[in-house]
Amino acid sequence: MTSERPSWTFLSNHGHVLVLVAREPGVLLTDLSERVGISERAARSILRDLEDAGYLSRTKVGRRNRYDVHPDGPLRHPEESTTMVSDLLTIFGG
């Protein structure tokens, strides 16, 4: 294996962001975007998507954001809709 990013992964960027904020609720946007391998703008958009869909909430703590994942919702794709977010997070230790 090389240290290069693979051309594809099993999770979407939305999945990567959700798993990462579940593990680290206070992660900085710059760190989040770097670790997922996307721009800060894309990370901000994904966080907004997840928040609008009810998968997480954001709380301002001083000048930083803290994200709380809501694991009781189902995954969005019809083929996985019987699987809960908590099941996904359990797999990845979130």
Give the position of tokens 């962001």. Answer: 17
Query: Which class in CATH covers the domain with range 13-91?
Result: mainly alpha
DSSP string, 56-84: EEEEEETTEEEEEE-TTSBPSSGGGTTSB
> Residue 70's closest CA among 84, 83, 56?
56
- The predicted-structure confidence for 25-82, as pLDDT tens digits, reads as follows 999 999 999 999 999 999 999 999 999 999 999 999 999 999 999 999 999 999 999 9
> H helices of the chain, where?
13-23, 29-36, 40-52, 85-91
- Domain assignments of the chain as residue spans, ordered by start: 13-91
User: What is the pTM assigned to this prediction?
Assistant: 0.90
Question: What is the number of alpha carbons within 13 Å of residue 8 lying toward its C-beta?
Answer: 1
Q: Are 14 and 49 in contact, with CB atoms under 8 Å apart?
A: yes
